[in-house]
Amino acid sequence: MPLLSSSIGAIKPHYDVVVVGSGYGGGIAASRLARAKKRVCVLERGKELLAGDFPDTYAKFSQETQISLPAEALGPEHYGPRTGLYDVRLDEKMNVVVGCGLGGTSLINAGITVRPDARLFDDPRWPVALCNDPALLEEGFRRAEEMLRPEVYPDHLPKPAKLIAIEAAGRAIGEKVSRVPLSIAFESGLSPVGLKEAACRLCGDCVSGCNHSSKRTVATTYLPDAKNHGAEIFTEVSVRRVERRNTHWVVHYELFGAGREAFDSPELFVIADMVILAAGVLGTPEILLRSRAAGLSMSSQVGAHMSANRNVLGVGFNADVTINGIGFGNLPPEGRPPVGPLITAGVDLRDRSPLDEGVVVEEGAVPGPFAHGFVRAMLLAAAAFGSRNHESLTDIVEEMERNLESICEGPYRGATNNTLVLLGIGHDDSPGRLYLDNDRIRVAWPEGREERVAEMNKILERIVRPLGATFVQNPLWSDLTRHSIVTVQPLGGCVMADDASSGAVNHLGQLFAESSGSKVHETLVVLDGSIVPRSTGINPLLTISALAERACMGLAKKLGVEIDYAFTAPSALHFTPRTPGIRFTEVMRGHVSKSIKDDCAKGEEAGKNEESPLTLHLTVIAEDLEHLLADPLHRARVVGTAAAPALSPEPMQVSDGTLSILAIDPADPKAKRLVYGMRLTTRDGAALHLEGIKYIRDDFGFDIWSDATTLFVTLYEGALGGAVAGKGVVRVGAVDFARQLRSMTVTHVEKTEDRARILLRFSEFFGLTLLETYLPFRGGLGSLVPG
């Protein structure tokens, strides 16, 4: 599987379109606008994970989990890595689980790709323009289905036990059971975007992430398509806010995993003619509310009308029938009964009237990484919250035997192997409100919605009874936890409407520019689950995708461009192996003068007198350490910011940055130089070029520290070779140097001992080159650097 993302060092200062987030909304916007020949850049806060990278054990699962708690909670507000794949937000009454990674929540969803009930669009909350043009919406659904190619679980494959069980339960209670369409490959082949798909192994681990290239996520459909059409994709980039400047947008972001936090470094930014916000139901309102706090005008409805899609989780524990509902995890598939895709079917009560009374209850499985904790968790939960009608003494004895079997022989036997996970989905009145608290988004969920959850619990219980199972409700749904609920399908928060008094965006996702009326920011568009103005009552990904596809058609028309939907031979998807690399952040502070054009030291003096500081916060990135060491110029990439108030009132963005580490000085073969070159862009789009040199040479006295930390800087108007705009000197201070060492990160290496080896190799290269310069010896560097 080829890598889709590029090194952040390759980011350009300006794009036609910047897409924030890479779930369904973001992937669709990137694919469609790249196909319309726009220069597209995607910024995603999570990492890029390929098949094989997804956790298959509990230990790996914990490393990929991040949990945010309310500020009032005791202890830290955030646990786990900020780029952790499973992003769990705990709040007082509402808990939300979303995905974080290239591909968004599609990486950890079940792939159910289903149309909602047609009556959904009769709701007056949808914008009139959307309801008046059903053909365009239908075209949106068609385009999304063309890419995701959903199909129901085929009859020619072995029937999973959990499917047999839910069909039996449906028959017993006299309700219809429908198989759900899934974006999963059941046969191996080549996808229209040029990627190999492998037939599903029926391992049941869709939601811990598909390791077998079978699930059609955004990362295997829309994003490779975008890349095929020229989009540039960057990961571990978290967008903080957007700012309007003249005719363009400034997208402010922070870079994860570069150690910049330790320096309190200024935000980085990229300029865009159009911004698509697709950071999901929690991410998009967070970015918008921060942008509003910084002065961007918008509707007061941003944050309002969040729905939990009436998600209710429950479990039928220790049924009389086999379920085989625990994913394989890291166990070999040979000889194991199929679990099936995570979900294959649901008891379908959607045809109720009115629409809001309809529900669907889908069968599920426990992902393999949870298998081992599952026995203890279920026995405890069943004892604390379970409800079961025993038919006879034999029934009780058999149940106890199965409990013992699980305890003695593990989760794939006995009670836990006879356990069916259920997810109820229905409608609510979108009562949630998202708000910023201490710079983070939180969910306020009102009291008084308990009855609807209790009703859903009764439906779940009715389904598991005929299977002879103990019904165990979500343990968070208790008096102790103030009846807190969990949703995996949040919707709304930035909803579509006819005007700003009832929503945040119009029917194309364009953000309303004022608190009333229908004036929009034409080029600031929201396209993700946050624009859905009501619960869908069914798994929402296809509705989100259809709305995004539809909006892209409308936006293309407004921009006067055409989207070419034809699938042609993929061009950009080359396999590039991940190589061990290094990143660190270096901060240099000093002075620069615009009035001195010939001498850096004089520029520094004049800069001090003129009170004209220059501060560089540079993140140095070597994606391939071996390549850097082999290259005679030892070039790494550089991103960051340059703050020089005399040149620009706000920090400037560094792009096209390179650092040549310890290459030979052409003027003195015994000396070495560190040469920095970079473009600086102001928020207004004006450009400068910075050239900086550190001279490493053995002149009088032991001056290794001052040589290695002093950068002589020349600034040019426009590009390198333009008129000199100023001269000066910046230096690394002792405290900043200590932080720089701590910021040193090894990338694309899993094991601690390998990371230590790479760090050692880099420091040996650096240290020995310095020694070679200051204490020359026979045999040269090559004789000392280990291979």
Q: Whole-number minimum distance, CB 752 to ligand FAD, in Å?
A: 26
Nearer to ligand FAD, 22 or 211 (CB): 22
3-state SS, residue 153: coil
Q: Whole-number minimum distance, CB 590 to ligand FAD, in Å?
A: 33
DSSP 8-class letter at 350: T
Using omega within 30 degrees of 0 as the cis cutoff, is the peptide bond preceding 354 cis? yes
Q: Which two tokens stand for residue 577?
A: 């192996």
Phi, psi of 74, deg, nearest 5: -75, 145
Q: Whole-number minimum distance, CB 215 to ligand FAD, in Å?
A: 10
Q: What angle do CA 338, 343, 346 make, to 5 degrees?
A: 120
**Measured between alpha carbons, how far is 445 from 485 in angstroms, rounded to an integer?**
10
Tell me the C-alpha to C-alpha distance, in Å, between residue 547 and each of 184, 275, 471, 529, 530. Answer: 22, 17, 37, 9, 11
From the number of C-beta atoms within 10 Å of its C-beta (0-12, 13-18, 19+), residue 632 rates as exposed
Nearer to ligand FAD, 290 or 739 (CB): 290
Nearer to ligand FAD, 111 or 414 (CB): 111
Q: Whole-number minimum distance, CB 106 to ligand FAD, in Å?
A: 5
- Contacts with ligand FAD by CB under 6 A lie at 20-26, 43-46, 97-100, 104-106, 108-112, 207, 238-239, 278-280, 283, 287, 488-489, 528-529, 539-541, 544
* CB neighbour list of residue 537: distance below 8 Å, 6 or more residues apart: 116, 117, 120, 309, 310, 350, 355, 356, 358, 359, 360, 425, 426, 427
Looking at the DSSP bridge assignments, the partners of residue 614 are 590
Nearer to ligand FAD, 83 or 740 (CB): 83
**Measured between alpha carbons, how far is 603 from 613 in angstroms, rounded to an integer?**
11
Q: Whole-number minimum distance, CB 304 to ligand FAD, in Å?
A: 17
**Measured between alpha carbons, how far is 773 from 787 in angstroms, rounded to an integer?**
21
**Measured between alpha carbons, how far is 57 from 65 in angstroms, rounded to an integer?**
13
Give the residue ranges of DSSP H helices in 425-480.
450-464
Number of other residues whose CB lies within 10 A of the CB of residue 73: 12
Burial per residue of 743-760, b for 16 or more beta-carbon CB atoms within 10 angstroms, e otherwise: bbbbbebeeeeebeebbe
Q: Whole-number minimum distance, CB 727 to ligand FAD, in Å?
A: 38
Q: Whole-number minimum distance, CB 527 to ligand FAD, in Å?
A: 8
Nearer to ligand FAD, 100 or 616 (CB): 100
Q: Which residue has the tokens 């996808």?
A: 191
Q: Which residue is nearest to ligand FAD (CB)?
A: 23
Nearer to ligand FAD, 23 or 533 (CB): 23
Q: Whole-number minimum distance, CB 530 to ligand FAD, in Å?
A: 7
Comparing CA positions, the residue from 8, 24, 79 lying closest to residue 236 is 8
Plot region of 492 (φ>0 → left; ψ -120 to 50 → alpha; else → beta):
left
Burial per residue of 486-500, b for 16 or more beta-carbon CB atoms within 10 angstroms, e otherwise: bbbbbbbbbbbbbbb
Query: Does residue 691 contact residue 713 with C-beta atoms inside 8 Å?
Result: yes
Of all helices (H) and strands (E), which one includes residue 770? helix 752-774
Nearer to ligand FAD, 339 or 488 (CB): 488
Q: Whole-number minimum distance, CB 240 to ligand FAD, in Å?
A: 7
Q: Whole-number minimum distance, CB 522 to ligand FAD, in Å?
A: 22
Nearer to ligand FAD, 358 or 590 (CB): 358
Q: Which amino acid is at 779?
A: G
Phi, psi of 589, deg, nearest 5: -125, 145
DSSP 8-class letter at 206: G
**Measured between alpha carbons, how far is 423 from 486 in angstroms, rounded to an integer?**
11
Q: Which two tokens stand for residue 186?
A: 């059941």
Nearer to ligand FAD, 489 or 619 (CB): 489
Q: Whole-number minimum distance, CB 529 to ligand FAD, in Å?
A: 3
Q: Whole-number minimum distance, CB 601 to ligand FAD, in Å?
A: 42
Nearer to ligand FAD, 55 or 607 (CB): 55
Q: Whole-number minimum distance, CB 341 to ligand FAD, in Å?
A: 9
Q: Whole-number minimum distance, CB 251 to ligand FAD, in Å?
A: 9
Tell me the C-alpha to C-alpha distance, in Å, between residue 50 and each of 177, 190, 223, 462, 575. Answer: 34, 17, 13, 40, 12
Residues counted in the chain:
787
**Measured between alpha carbons, how far is 57 from 63 in angstroms, rounded to an integer?**
10
Number of other residues whose CB lies within 10 A of the CB of residue 521: 20
Q: Whole-number minimum distance, CB 610 to ligand FAD, in Å?
A: 38
**Measured between alpha carbons, how far is 509 from 464 in angstroms, rounded to an integer?**
41
Nearer to ligand FAD, 111 or 224 (CB): 111
**Measured between alpha carbons, how far is 536 from 557 in angstroms, rounded to an integer?**
28
Tell me the C-alpha to C-alpha distance, in Å, between residue 279 and each of 179, 240, 532, 614. Answer: 30, 11, 14, 34
Nearer to ligand FAD, 19 or 730 (CB): 19
Q: Whole-number minimum distance, CB 488 to ligand FAD, in Å?
A: 4
Nearer to ligand FAD, 493 or 726 (CB): 493
Nearer to ligand FAD, 46 or 607 (CB): 46
Nearer to ligand FAD, 494 or 680 (CB): 494
Comparing CA positions, the residue from 538, 511, 501, 503 lying closest to residue 278 is 511
3-state SS, residue 235: strand
Q: Whole-number minimum distance, CB 505 to ligand FAD, in Å?
A: 13
Nearer to ligand FAD, 235 or 709 (CB): 235
3-state SS, residue 403: helix
Q: Which amino acid is at 586?
A: E
Nearer to ligand FAD, 34 or 242 (CB): 242
